[in-house]
């Protein structure tokens, strides 16, 4: 494993769309309301969101290894620290570098958007570190799905909208809710797959607390919830139905989630769930701008 490939895999590229989708949707809502796009804030927001997610992923990589959660025999994709591709110190340095790059993007965004962006940026960086770091990591408790819903849904969409308009509207929060529910489903897949190993290592995720039958129901609700809530965007007219084009993919993923035995097959379900969120977000964005 060469270093370039190791770093690429450590960043978890298959799920980076989870941080980019809400930026796209928030900007599309702003276009719907203002009929204009501020391209530099859009670019800075997208880069900042991606760097925060990459940094969070790297902290998660090294944090799970140091706590003994990730081992070479884990069911999920191989992790750079656990496999020995990169040292814990190197991965930690990479995580801080990612956060530093996000902070640099944030300097411009704060200049543009003011103190609300300071609060959003600092909260996002702190939450990204606390997801696996600190004495009580978010990922080691039952609130992982809630964390993702808030930061990769409401805050990311609402913040992206605010950067374009310097205001916040109910439609932006509704759109953030739709995107955030699908983002939370990605964490549900991850925790469902790793339930047995997490339970053994003392990682009390929501899946460990509730068990597999309840998590299968939760994933079904997360997959279908955004489609059920689409009537909240009825003011858009017929374009509000465009995201329904992705419903067959959601139904296919629900069937796979219920039928597949927990194991490596869930790695593809996880990536496909992130892909569904991106497709849904793109269709929703088209509905907002046409």
Q: DSSP string spanning 198-215?
A: HHHHT---HHHHH-HHHH
Q: Output the pLDDT for position 134.
A: 78
pLDDT at site 153: 96
Say if 6 falls within a structural domain.
no
**How many domains are there within the chain?**
1
With respect to residue 247, please indicate whether it lies within any of the assigned structural domains.
Answer: yes
Tokens representing 156 are 């990311």
pLDDT of residue 278 exceeding 70, the answer is yes
What percentage of the chain has pLDDT greater than the value 70? 98
Domain limits at 178? 16-289
- Would you put residue 237 in left (φ > 0), alpha (ψ -120 to 50) or beta? left
| Residue 75 belongs to a domain | yes
Which two tokens mark 61? 């990589």
pLDDT in tens, 128-174: 999 988 788 998 999 999 999 999 999 999 999 999 999 999 999 99
What the block records as the tokens of 191 is 């925790």
- The CATH number assigned to the domain holding 129 equals 1.10.600
Q: Is residue 254 part of a domain?
A: yes
The single-letter DSSP state of residue 72 is: T
Tokens linked to 207: 């899946």
| Residue at 79 is within a domain | yes
Residue 276 lies in a domain: yes
Round to the nearest angstrom and report the end-to-end CA distance of the chain: 46
Predicted TM-score (pTM) of the model is 0.94
161-191 burial: b if 16+ Cβ within 10 Å, else e? bbbbbeeebebbbbbbbbbbbbbbbbbbbbb
Q: What is the three-class DSSP state of 85?
A: coil
Domain for residue 10, yes or no? no
Residue 77 forms part of a structural domain: yes
CA atoms of 185 and 224, how far apart (whole Å) = 10
Mean pLDDT of 259-287: 95
- How do residues 52-67 score in pLDDT, each as one tens digit? 999 999 999 998 888 8
pLDDT of 77 higher than 90? no
């Amino acid at each position: 494993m060469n270093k370039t490939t190791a770093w690429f895999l450590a960043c978890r590229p298959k799920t980076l769309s989870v941080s980019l989708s809400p930026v796209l949707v928030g900007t599309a809502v702003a276009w719907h309301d203002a009929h204009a796009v501020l391209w530099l804030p859009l670019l800075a927001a997208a880069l900042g969101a991606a760097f925060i997610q990459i940094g969070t992923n790297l902290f998660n990589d090294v944090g799970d290894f140091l706590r003994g959660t990730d081992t070479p025999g884990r069911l999920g994709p191989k992790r750079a620290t656990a496999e020995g591709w990169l040292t814990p110190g190197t991965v930690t340095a990479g995580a801080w570098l990612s956060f530093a790059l996000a902070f640099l993007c944030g300097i411009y965004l704060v200049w543009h958007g003011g103190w609300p962006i300071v609060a959003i940026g600092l909260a996002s960086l702190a939450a990204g570190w606390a997801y696996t770091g600190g004495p009580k990591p978010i990922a080691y408790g039952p609130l992982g799905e809630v964390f993702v819903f808030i930061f990769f849904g409401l805050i990311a969409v609402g913040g992206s909208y605010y950067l374009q308009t310097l205001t916040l509207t109910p439609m932006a929060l509704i759109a953030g809710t739709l995107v955030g529910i699908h983002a939370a489903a990605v964490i549900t897949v991850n925790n469902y797959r790793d339930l047995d190993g997490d339970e053994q290592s003392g990682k009390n995720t929501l899946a460990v607390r509730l068990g597999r039958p309840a998590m299968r129901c939760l994933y079904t609700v997360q997959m279908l919830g955004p489609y059920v809530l689409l009537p909240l965007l009825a003011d858009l007219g017929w374009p509000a139905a465009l995201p329904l084009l992705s419903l067959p993919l959601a139904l296919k993923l629900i069937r796979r989630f219920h039928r597949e035995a927990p194991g490596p097959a869930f790695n593809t379900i996880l990536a496909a769930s992130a892909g569904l969120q991106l497709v849904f977000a793109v269709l929703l964005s088209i509905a907002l701008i046409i």
